[in-house]
Amino acid sequence: MPYAFDAYVTAALFSKSPQGPLQAAFALGDGTVRFESGEVVEAHDGAVLCAAPHPSGEGIVTGGDDGRVVWSRPSGAEEIASLRGKWIDAVAASAESKLIAFSAGREVHVRDAADPAFARTFAHEKSVAELAFDPKGRRLAVATYNGAWLWFARIAEQKPTILEWAGSHIALVWSPDGKFLMSSMQENQLHGWRVADEKNMRMGGYPAKVKSLVFLSKGQMMATSGAQGVVIWPFGGSTGPMGKQAAEVGFDASTLVSRVAAPPTGQRVAAGLEDGRVWVCDLAGQKIEMLKAEKGPPITALSITPDGKRVAWGDEDGAAGMAEAP
């Protein structure tokens, strides 16, 4: 199903609908959130900069350049927080702990979806680029310059654990067992830590910046963008990918993978390409199924349902779509 929004697609996510089944929600550069069912929510006075599913599973949480954090549902918008004069650069949410985190400059703020009075603020030495809750939603990882800072999200007074590595860290993902924290860097490489002992993992060889990374197969694999195909890293065992080689799926010399998505179980992975195409692949058979064969602007947003059966995407010029995955 194609859409033409005429605004940069910041995020394409799936959320619960009032009728029950999951539906796609698109967060856009014109400040709106648009739902598959047709509703248009005026969420921000300006662009949506970041988005995440709401902890309840219904609707999405967005941050904008108007300094507001907003919960959008088909029924309308609800303001979670407002920081006048700031940009909300990153947002994360946890269904397990019901916590919502968002960043503005060097500060990270935490709210509780079940308790409007709850608020925490954590300060950093440098600007914050990305946020990620651990699988239980208790610990919050913050990507910043020269490493990742770890906070216990509900504790007010504390010293963070700092996982150091020189350079600018721009994206984060936890392994499903919480043992590994993986970071994408500005320098066309990944870095990771085994959290228990802060063991470093450096994973290079990428021709481009890794903008997207996701775990699949119950944490046995991690898929990333940043190459001519989807790069698959093995994570079985206590040492994760250390000393192991990555594989590449769907290699195409004419373009790069810009976004990846995968359900938490199974071996299905979806890819959005810099040339506008979208495909899905079951790694067991490695057959590429093209969901969008027409070329166009780079894919900027990509999501797949937990059962791996539906994929939603959007591009930098405002075209978007949805398809059933074979």
The predicted model gives 285-295 an average pLDDT of 95
The Cα 249–Cα 255 span in angstroms is: 13
pLDDT digits (tens, 9 = 90+) for 99-114: 999 999 999 999 999 9
Structure confidence at residue 240 (pLDDT):
83
pLDDT digits (tens, 9 = 90+) for 48-83: 999 999 999 999 999 999 999 999 999 999 999 999
Structure confidence at residue 236 (pLDDT):
85
Structure confidence at residue 22 (pLDDT):
93
Structure confidence at residue 62 (pLDDT):
98
82 touches 108 (CB < 8 A): no
Residue found by looking up tokens 């058979």 in the block: 285
Instruction: Show the DSSP H helices in the chain as ranges.
Output: none
Q: Is the predicted pLDDT of residue 244 greater than 90, yes or no?
A: no
pLDDT digits (tens, 9 = 90+) for 180-235: 999 999 999 999 999 999 999 999 899 999 999 999 999 999 999 999 999 999 99
Residue 27's identity, in one-letter code, is: A
Structure confidence at residue 326 (pLDDT):
87
Question: Is 97 in a helix, a strand, or coil?
Answer: coil
The domains located in the chain, with CATH, are 210-326 (2.130.10.10)
Considering only CA atoms, which of 92, 177, 97, 75 is closest in space to residue 130? 92
The predicted model gives 28-34 an average pLDDT of 98
- Quote the mean pLDDT of the chain: 96
Which structure tokens are listed for 205? 């060889």
Pairing type for strands 60-64 and 287-292 reads unpaired
The Cα 134–Cα 173 span in angstroms is: 8
Non-local (6+) Cβ contacts of 46 within 8 A are 31, 64, 65, 66
60 touches 69 (CB < 8 A): no
The Cα 48–Cα 159 span in angstroms is: 32
> What is the pLDDT confidence band of residue 248, given thresholds at 50, 70 and 90?
very high
Between 143 and 1, the more confident residue is 143
Q: Which helix (H) or strand (E) holds 259?
A: strand 257-261
> What is the pLDDT confidence band of residue 254, given thresholds at 50, 70 and 90?
very high
**Burial degree of 309 (CB within 10 A; 0-12, 13-18, 19+):** middle
pLDDT digits (tens, 9 = 90+) for 105-163: 999 999 999 999 999 999 999 999 999 999 999 999 999 999 999 999 999 999 999 99
Structure confidence at residue 17 (pLDDT):
79
The whole model's pTM is what? 0.96
Structure confidence at residue 306 (pLDDT):
95
Residue found by looking up tokens 């093995």 in the block: 234
